[in-house]
A and B are shown apart, each in its own frame.
Chain A
């Protein structure tokens, strides 16, 4: 029989200690703490006892681990993940007293003490004129971008606050000549820096300079260019991939799931594979300033559903690449079991919860997509960020959206993936509404649905029907007649019959959407034989157009009048020269 203990990791049962691996940062939180490996980006949430244990490993280089089963299991896991390592024999030292790890010193929750990651649009300037760019609409209401001194001050503030990662984007961040300097300062202060660029081609010199401060580089793929001149673009990208490897940068590609992106998904993936990208992150198509462009390029829910089904098959064609999903595509992971999602740290929307966005002027927003005057919470340099983070009603509104009554009544609020998806708040109606792109919320069994869940299911159930019988509602949801009549009377999806006598309960309800379609058809006129001039499908297309493909309500007023971005001759970033 074997006798295993925590120390059997060492040879001959020698009880050598373990210690925190170099580059691993600890941050205490109300639930215990966050463990962040700056070398790999691995992020763990651990409970109070585990966090205390890790603090010991950090301070003394010695481990309090005994032969306890739970501790043994944790130790084995942490060793396997590289978070702790067996200390060299010479380093073994007696346990140091650990001041400040008493239970009273844990931060009070329920929010984190600081964001894990800050997304900073360091500039909105860009010469590329990409038609799908969303940053252009963010310019409105934004002040001038910070100069180098203030940018460095911003980095200091984030480091003091305890932020772990800084993701720099734009605009085009590489247009800032001081980017490498700012990134290097951030690294000195313990932050892991990511940069997203739209440049397909960067030289080794440029990348090596960046690599002094930047850990990971994401290249936003310009779909049109890659499709129009595939060979030339692949060659440029392949060179950049090669240079990035030599410079020691972790590299990935961002691929936008616009209609064009999805229609050419296989081709684009194959191109990225040929270029040698080890990782691709799939991004949701975000609303650009041009509403007409949005209507053309955004996907309808059924199209998203088709793509969702094909996705594993498509990714199998590039087995050497790792694929990741943008948090705005959280609904593609809605079928993951909630416990598995929690264990894998899948949290869906984490706006103002794990992340914070900053504009070029230091303005604070819940997420980079919500960089809009309406959602500005404060100024990172002028205000106390920790106080704003804790108390700003606006940030709290996004952080705790899942707890609000209006949200709980929405399709996302009754979905079983609520905790690990929640739906992207950028697209949701008035912050608390349902995610419009999700094709199929995961509902509990019909008889376990509450009133809100029944309304969500009802909308799907009556699709294409003219009327709904009360008896069908009773049978489907296992409710009594009184409940059925009450809920149907308040339902936004059905109407009582127009000719119903007063004080009489209806036996059926009319489906409102079908009534609307019929009304439009009647309004457009009919042939002598009574056939409408306009088909149902045509009316549905009009309605979709009228809804602007779910262009977010809060953006409509800003962007409704926007027109196609004019192309400026010679304005493309053919060959970037980074000075």
Chain B
């Protein structure tokens, strides 16, 4: 019996190493670049927006009021989490690119949020290449990149409060080391797009805007 308990205890410990951890507190951060992203899309008639994060009712409201756009929601974070839980990290690149099924030059704006922090170099490159293809000429891409190499235990749900304010609400993730990219790496990642603005926020995240 003791062996049984020991066995189950060990499993619990092992699981704790990779299992999602409790959520951290939410924060509000100012955004310098998001308003430029919105401004880039505003003059476009009925723009098509692709959000690569989880669906957030408040954001849909914001996009609807400001852009009257058609919005696609492709929660790649859910896909990443599912892949980690299956222990199939080698399929990550293929799975994520397959999720991005939209046609070439069909999207006006892409919101990546902090997606690339969770992607290794090869997967990030494959996903970025697909996003570049999907973006229309003149389209805009908004992304955030962490600058500190830490273990990520949470995904972040970004809730748009205003043009210049994003509420960050963490929710549990399978632990993974953040893929830190320097500015040069980021530019290479989106080779083919033009870097419009890059700002280092107080949170140490780099906020960037690219245009095609």
Q: Do A and B come from one complex?
A: no
Chain A residues with CB under 8 Å of chain B are none
Chain B residues with CB under 8 Å of chain A are none
